[in-house]
Amino acid sequence: MQLLVHIRLDQPLILPINYNHILQSVIYRAISIIPDFGDFVHDCGYNREGRQYKMFQFGQLKGSYRIENRVIIFDSHVSFEVRSPEPLLIRLIADSFNYYGITFGKTQYHDVELELFDYTVEESDLVVRMKSPVTIYSTDPSTGKTYFYNPDESEFYDRINENFYRKYQAYYGIAPYKPLDILKNEGIKTRKIVTKYQSSYVTAWFVQLNLTGERKYLDFLYQTGLGAKNSQGFGMFEIV
C-alpha cells in the first residue's frame, strides 16, 4: 500500500541535508497513535535470523529547495511517499497526518493533502529505477567494520537476494521458493551517494535494474523496498 503526502508550507521547512532520521521519526510518531502497534514497529518489527525489519519505506522529499550553510530549505511545498505491505501501518500514518498534521522538529504543518493507493505489481519482469538510493552491506563480526557493496560486484546482487529472503520470511513466515534474477541495466549510469544517518555513514546507489521473478515477490519488494535500511529511507524504486 502507498501513501503520497503533500504539504503546503506556511513557513519554510529547514532541515539538515542528511534528514532521513528526521523523516523516519515523523513516521514513527504517526503510527504511535496506536501505542502498542507503534511500539511493536519501533522496538521489535518483524524478525528473521536476528535481524529486525520494520516493513515500511519512505522516499526522498520532493519540492523546490535551496541549500544554505549545510541545511536544505523548502519554501512553498514538499511531498514524499511511504509504502508498506502492512495496510494498518499506512492507514495509521494517513489518519495521524490528517488529524494532527505533520511536525518536523518544533515546526508543525496542518495544510496536508494525502493520496492513498493500493497499487500491486502484476508483472514478473520489471525495469526499475531507484527513487531513493539502494544500499547493501556486510559487517565483519570480528572487527565490526562494515563493507558496502557496489553494483559492479556480483555480491551486490547476491546480498540483495539474501535480504529479500529474510524480509519475506520475517513478514509471511515462509521462505520464497526461488530467488530473483537481478541485473544492472548497463546502458544507464549509476550514481554513488554517501549519506550520514545519525552517527553513521551509509554508501548507497542510484541505479537502474532489471528484476525477474514471481509476481508476488516483486510486489513485496515494491511495498518494502530493495536492499537494506528501507525504514531509514533507502531502496524505494519506481517501475520504468
Each residue's pLDDT tens digit, 22-55: 999 999 999 999 999 999 999 888 988 878 999 9
Query: Does residue 65 register a pLDDT over 90?
Result: yes
Beta bridge partners of 78: 7
When pLDDT is averaged across residues 123-138 and rounded to a whole number, the result is 98
Query: Does residue 142 register a pLDDT over 90?
Result: no
State which amino acid sits at residue 58: F
**Which run of H or E residues covers position 153?**
none
Can you read off the three cell numbers belonging to residue 8?
Answer: 503546503
The domains located in the chain, with CATH, are 2-117 (3.30.70.1890), 125-239 (3.30.70.1900)
Determine what percent of the chain is predicted with pLDDT higher than 70: 100
Bigger pLDDT: 106 or 157?
157
pLDDT for res 240:
95
Select from 23, 103, 96 the least CA-distant residue to 60: 23
CB 137 within 8 A of CB 51: no
State which amino acid sits at residue 221: L
Select from 195, 217, 196 the least CA-distant residue to 204: 195
Q: Is 146 helix (H, G, I), strand (E, B) or coil?
A: strand
Query: Does residue 169 register a pLDDT over 90?
Result: yes
When pLDDT is averaged across residues 117-123 and rounded to a whole number, the result is 97
DSSP alpha helix (H) spans, the chain: 20-31, 35-39, 87-100, 154-172, 215-224
Each residue's pLDDT tens digit, 185-231: 998 999 999 999 988 999 999 999 999 999 999 999 999 999 999 99
